[in-house]
Structure 1
Amino acid sequence: MNRVRRTLAATVTLAIASMTLTGCFEEASPHDAVRDFLVGWQSNDYELAASRADGDPAVVRKALSDAKLQLDAASFRFRIKSVRVTGDESQAEFGVEVDLGDNNPLWTYDSVLPLRLDDGMWKVKWSPAVLHPQLKEGQRFAVKAKPKPRQPVLDRGGDPLQQDMFLYVAGVVPAQLGDRAEEVVKQLSQITGYAEDRLLSRIRSAPPNETVPLITFGRTRYQSVRQKLDAIPEVKTVTEKQPVDPASPKQIVGRVSALTPETEQKLGGPQRAGDSIGQSGLQQAYQGYLTGSTETQVIILDLNTGEEVASLQQWPGRQNRSVQTTIDSGVQVAAERAVSSTRASALVAVDSSTGEIRAVSTRGLHQQNDALAGRFPAGTAFSIVAADAILKAGVQTKQKLPCPAERTVGGARFVSAAQVTGSSPTFQQNFAAGCVTALASLARRVTGDDLARSAENFGIGLPWQLPLKSFSGSRPAFDGDAAKAKAIAGQNVEVSPLSMALVAGAVASGTWRPPVLVTAPDTPDAADEVTPAPQPPPRQLDPQVREALTAMMRAGAQGTPAQAGSGRVHGVTSAATGKENDAWFVGWQGDLAIAVFTRNYNPAAVAGSFFAALGDTP
């Protein structure tokens, strides 16, 4: 809830309060004075309030007005608790609710209005204690706000996935402004675009002898306005280091910027100068966790010395915390090297036994929008999933299966560019080579329900949850031989590199698991106050099918660049699909399962570079 909304709420409360006070007390009594004073104070009608006090009207008006400025309050609201009369003296007990704005908690306290009968009229006995029981002559309110430094996004080993970068914070010392406060604020507003009233209210509510941070700049923005800022002698700029310069995977970690007038207005608080705002990736998804909320304290100051004499209320704010990811920086380095020679590619690596994402790397594509959430034709890489249904239907890996250049299945025409050696290739050989025509011919051996169940067992289309946008895949209804054949060839199925890395992980470990990117905290900011949807449960593969698929994918990697000198790589390379010559390598080595998506480049070569780079990475 922002300042504007709270102010509107206060107006409604005021109307109700006015009617209540007016309706309850019909006789001339202390109640009339209590009503007029509190309604005048609440509605900023300080003339009305002062008319019901026994002090100098100008002094009362100024004290009430100053209290609102010193607290930077959006509103005051009151609730009468009791009114007691003893002869010519009276006392009204009331509750106070002060909205400090900027999404700070409401400040509530109880107070007392003393009254006396003066020439037949009840008057509030004026003193600063009317504003708060602890306030005395020669004292004032003030609000101290202390933003927390931004916490880092961490890799799985606890190392930051960003480097420190300097931000520039411009501020003033209120006591040094003298009568130039409004002029300084006007100049700052013209330079930065911040509203004058917000800057001025922060100055007036702060302790006068302490520096008040007002505006934060990134390096480029600061350099563009530096001369103008330097021309205002009262404004001092300091540098602050914050962990905001992202390391790889940069688009997953996300960008951070300094607070701007636009982001402050959009977020509505509790951000203040010195804060940083996540613009994308995990920095945006976990903004509230990484920054926490501003620590706020209402205090009383001595007007002469500026020293704090009392603390009336303190809110520690929400504690900020780092975000723990599953990214392995060593694996990420290997992934970055592997895609560096390509023009358009994406590589996602997951731990096959947990589903935890270890690396996300792209070249010419976007790490979140394409690697995690891209929607690409699966090509013959989807034959891994289809093979689950085909093997369960009784087809043997050694079954002879011709690989003609062309074939029609259910009216759908298929053309294969794959070359399969031997006069009578087997199902396994056609799978390894990605022969579209041979694989499509098996559509008649499975039902649409068979294929749908296998797709679900490999997580295709399941509603998993990640803090960033992602895509688990989509498929049509397999309601005929043509639709089934196209699915086996991956022509009517869309997947993301992440979803296919999980497919490889399922075969490698024997169990499909949903992806994991962040292990702490449990939910991003958007889901902080709601129960997050449960992750789909793991799906165990049929052990015999998994054994056959393992052998098929071992054959699929043999003789390809994915081997990179190692005989431990399992995988399959898809035939090119679509106008862009899209291609896939889906497989694993050890505990790491990967999916590589490329355009006009051999994905098996990227996979080989990745596995080779792992051996060179500490």
Structure 2
Amino acid sequence: MTNRGRRRARAGARTPLLSPARRRAVALAACGALVGTMTTGCWAEPSAMPAVRDFLIAWQVGNYEAAAGRTVGADRRQVEDALGRVRQQLDAASLRLSLGTEVESTDVDQIVKKGDEADARFTVKIDLGENGQPWQYPGLMHLRRVGGKWKVVWDPSIINTKLKPGQRLAVVTQVPKRSPITDTAGRSALREIGAYQVGVFPGQLADPQKTIDQLTRQTKIDGGRRLDSERLLGRVRSAPPQTYLPLLTLQVPTHNALIQRLTHIPGLQFQGVRAPIAPAYAPELIGNLGPATADRLQQVGAPYQPGDTIGVSGIQLLQQRRLAGTPTVSVVAQDETGKSTEQLRSWPGQEPQQVQTTLDPAYQRHADDALAALRFPASMVAVRSSTGEVLAVANHGTGGQNLAFEGHYPPGLTFGIVSALALFSQAGMKQSTETTCPGTVTVGGKTFTNAARPGSTFANHFAASCKTTLAQLSGKVDGQTLVREAAQLGIGKNWGLGVPAFTGSVPVPANDGDKAAAMVGEGAVQVSPLAMAMVAAAAYSGTWRPPYVLKDPSTTAQAPQAQSPPSESISNLKRTLSRTASRGNARGARVSGDVGGVAALTTYNEGGRSKTVSWFVGYSGDRAFAIAVEGVVNTPALAAKFLGG
């Protein structure tokens, strides 16, 4: 019963008016739709059965005029109106009627006759939503023989045995308070902002359809998304007439122009509220809330309705059901004032649960500050090396994209961390191995250049950004080994993170030239800042661990096992990265003695345009991090700003 979504378009949601002849034909055709208890045929001997059968068929197919014609005891227009409003008052997808009740034994008479009076039992089955059990209940009608013909004695209790004269059916939805997304200490990651709740008193609307049509025409949200007019109208018609019904919540000042337009629509009510609905930080990860438009309802599914405030991005969307819970829905009988209400049936919802992240507000503030002054799009991730916890996620100028997790960039010489580990683990090299750094080297038809350096150790040439050194050494590692080493550091694996992330891609090189390009982080190699932050974390701790940003294991998929490269290889790698931070290209980041890392600048083509990304990948103690900037900047200075707080 929980979802009333998309039902307005389903069979029985709206029955067109039919001519009298056509209605009779429909009733005849539908005779067989009633359950097999009506086996006497459409034109049986004079008895109460045909009257009961024809009344139920006409009601079920929406031929309310014909149904009312089978009644006595009330004005036919009144009966026709009462029967016709049942679907609207319940916003029902379908209504099925059958003679008899399923709870009684087969030998119990469905129709009990006593002279010119009779009572007939029947079953009502109403589909209130596509994802739940229909509402099914027993019905009872009284009949009287008038002028030799059986007639149904009209009473509102025919619709439901508890429905009294002057009452109507209504659907009451109680939405629980949304739970927060919290940081690693359990404090809310949301901030309170001003908003307007837009709603209606359904019984005060002069023309509900006109009001809702105007509302949905004006409501183009976040790139033209619209509310579902038909479903929203069904929601209004089924709600208690004298109770305020919120339809959507619009943030200030984001939706100021829309709020102003809506004030001109008759019948809309506006209530100013302040609510913790905006992310306090890391908005691209935490996500935003917004109205449930038609396309968003397709994403989140049952049991949400048009206009509900739901998660529309980030964790707010991914954990919508957990954070929002599900509403308690009740069908009630009430008088037109709304003061006298009797519950007929209720379907309990689920309580919301908070979602706790691993984000640390202090680290998050430092990461945001580090990128704040840049004029280029930039992203940064900080993690705890010993656990894989994501401590900070910063995106600056990325247009709402979480490029810290989902960016696709060539890593350039920061991928040298992977290549160096492959050389240490598979080729028997050490950080002290003597190497050369020529100005130009060609491998497999690909040419690599850098400033020439005199012969020295591998660690010194690595620190000096000697691309030609790594290109030459590519002959010591086969392509499969390089891909396998990258996978051991998590690149290209499914991390089971629970939020979208690009884990990287290192295709098997097709030839020696491609392999040399891969060794220096060029060609087809692509990574995200998060992927490289985890590489740095493994370099510091000696073990690659899958990252995680949600603390509850039930919110994430199965994560891969931790991987530990040979300890001697890790020791050589840490010495190499320490040398790079103390004397090489990363020295601007060395605010303390435990910093290790590498900086790189790489140029690539994307969509026929030349682009540049500046990198810093490294660690300081148990903090590992990666910075990627889409432009030429001094990334070691950014790293120092982050580390210095």
Please give the range of the TM-score, normalised by the shorter of the 2 chains: 0.7 to 0.9
- Of Structure 1 and Structure 2, which has the larger fraction of its residues in helix? 1
Q: Deviations over 1:296-334 (max 9, x none)?
A: 22112235x532342111223333333222211110111
Contact 2:11–2:94 at 8 Å: present in 1 too?
no
Instruction: Quote how far apart the aligned CAs of 1:62 are.
Output: 2.2
Change (3 A) 1:356 1:95: farther
- SS class of match (1:424): strand
Does structure 1 residue 286 correspond to structure 2 residue 319? yes
The Cα shift of 1:132 comes to 1.0
CA 1:53–1:347 in structure 2 vs 1: closer, same or farther (change >3 Å)?
same
- Counterpart of 2:633 in structure 1 is 601
Q: 1:381 to 1:71 in 2, by over 3 A?
A: same
Residue 81 of structure 1: aligned partner: 100
1:495 Cα offset (Å)? 1.0
Alignment-derived partner of residue 480 in structure 1:
511
Q: Deviations over 1:25-79 (max 9, x none)?
A: 3223433223222221122211222233333323321221233333333332223
Cα distance in 1 for partners of 2:512, 2:262 equals 72
For 1:71, the equivalent position in structure 2 comes to 90
- Give the conservation status (yes or no) of the 8 Å contact 2:119–2:140: yes
**Match status 1:516 vs 2:548:** yes
Which residue matches 1:416? Answer: 450
Distance 1:562 1:92, change over 3 A: farther
Do the aligned partners of residues 591 and 202 (structure 1) sit closer, same or farther apart at CA in structure 2, a change above 3 Å counting? same
1:167, 1:258 within 8 Å by CA — same for their partners in 2?
A: no
Three-state SS of the structure 2 residue aligned to 1:35 is helix
**Residue 399 in 1 paired to residue 399 in 2?**
no
**Is the Cα contact below 8 Å between 1:156 and 1:325 reproduced in 2?**
yes
Deviation at 1:585, TM superposition (A): 1.9
CA pair 167-521 structure 1, distance change in 2 beyond 3 A: farther
Instruction: State TM-score, norm by structure 1.
Output: 0.87
Deviation at 1:460, TM superposition (A): 1.4
Paired amino acid for 2:368: E
User: What is the letter of the counterpart of residue 205 of structure 1?
Assistant: S
Residue 87 to residue 151, structure 1, CA distance change in 2 (3 Å): same
**1:66–1:521 CA distance, 2 compared to 1 (3 A):** farther
C-alpha displacement of 1:561: 4.1
Q: State the secondary structure of the residue aligned to 1:383.
A: helix
Distance 1:576 1:510, change over 3 A: same
User: CA contact under 8 A between 1:102 and 1:270: conserved in structure 2?
Assistant: no
CA deviation digits over 1:351-410, x for unaligned, max 9? 112222111223333674422111111212112112222112212222110111111223
Distance (Å, rounded) in 2 between the aligned partners of 1:456 and 1:197: 51
Distance in 2 (alpha carbons) for counterparts of 1:373 and 1:448 = 26
Identify which of 573, 581, 586 aligns with 2:599: 573
Segment of structure 1 superposing worse, 24-33 or 231-240: 231-240
8 Å Cα contact 2:8/2:230 also seen in 1:
no
SS at match of 2:346: strand
Equivalent residue number for residue 461 of structure 1: 492
- Cα contact 1:40–1:48 (8 A) shared by 2: yes
1:438 match:
469
Q: Residue type of the partner of 2:183?
A: D
Contact kept? 2:380, 2:625, Cα under 8 Å: yes
Q: 1:126 and 1:609 mapped to 2: Cα distance? A: 80
Whether the 8 Å CA contact 1:2–1:268 is kept in 2: the answer is no
User: Which residues in structure 2 correspond to 1:445-594 (within 5 Å)?
Assistant: 445-492=476-523, 493-520=525-552, 522-523=554-555, 532=557, 534-559=558-583, 560-578=586-604, 579-594=610-625
CA RMSD in angstroms comes to: 3.4
Q: Is the 8 A contact 2:330 2:346 kept in 1?
A: yes
Matched letter for residue 409 of structure 1: V
- Residue 43 of structure 1 corresponds to 61
Instruction: Name the residue aligned to 2:77.
Output: 58
Spell out the pairing of 1:138-149 with structure 2 (5 A cutoff). Answer: 138-149=166-177
| TM-score (structure 2 length as normaliser) | 0.83
Aligned length: 600
- Partner SS, residue 459 of structure 2: helix
Where structure 2 has 5 or more consecutive residues not aligned to the other structure, the ranges are 16-26, 102-109, 220-225, 605-609
For 2:228 and 2:429, locate their aligned partners in 1 and report how far apart those are by CA, in whole Å.
72
Task: Quote how far apart the aligned CAs of 1:605 are.
Answer: 1.7
Checking the alignment, whether the CA contact within 8 Å between 1:254 and 1:280 is kept in structure 2 is: yes
Q: Is the 8 A contact 1:169 1:273 kept in 2?
A: no
| CA shift for structure 1 position 185 | 6.0
Measured in 1, the distance between the counterparts of 2:265 and 2:505 equals 59
Counterpart of 1:25? 40
Give the 3 Å change call, closer, same or farther, for CA 376–246 of structure 1 in structure 2: same
- What one-letter code is carried by the residue in structure 2 that aligns with 1:429? N
Give the direction of change, closer, same or farther, for the CA distance of 1:521–1:206 in structure 2 (3 Å limit). Answer: farther
| Residue type of the alignment partner of 1:565 | V
Identity score, percent: 37
Deviates more, 1:357-366 or 1:197-206: 197-206
Output the amino acid matched with 1:8: R
SS of equivalent to 1:390: helix
Q: Which residue is equivalent to 1:8?
A: 10
Q: Specify the code of the residue in structure 1 equivalent to 2:644.
A: A
Partner residue in 2 for 1:123: 151
Structure 1 Cα separation of the partners of residues 468 and 326 of structure 2: 60
Moved more, 126-135 or 107-116: 107-116
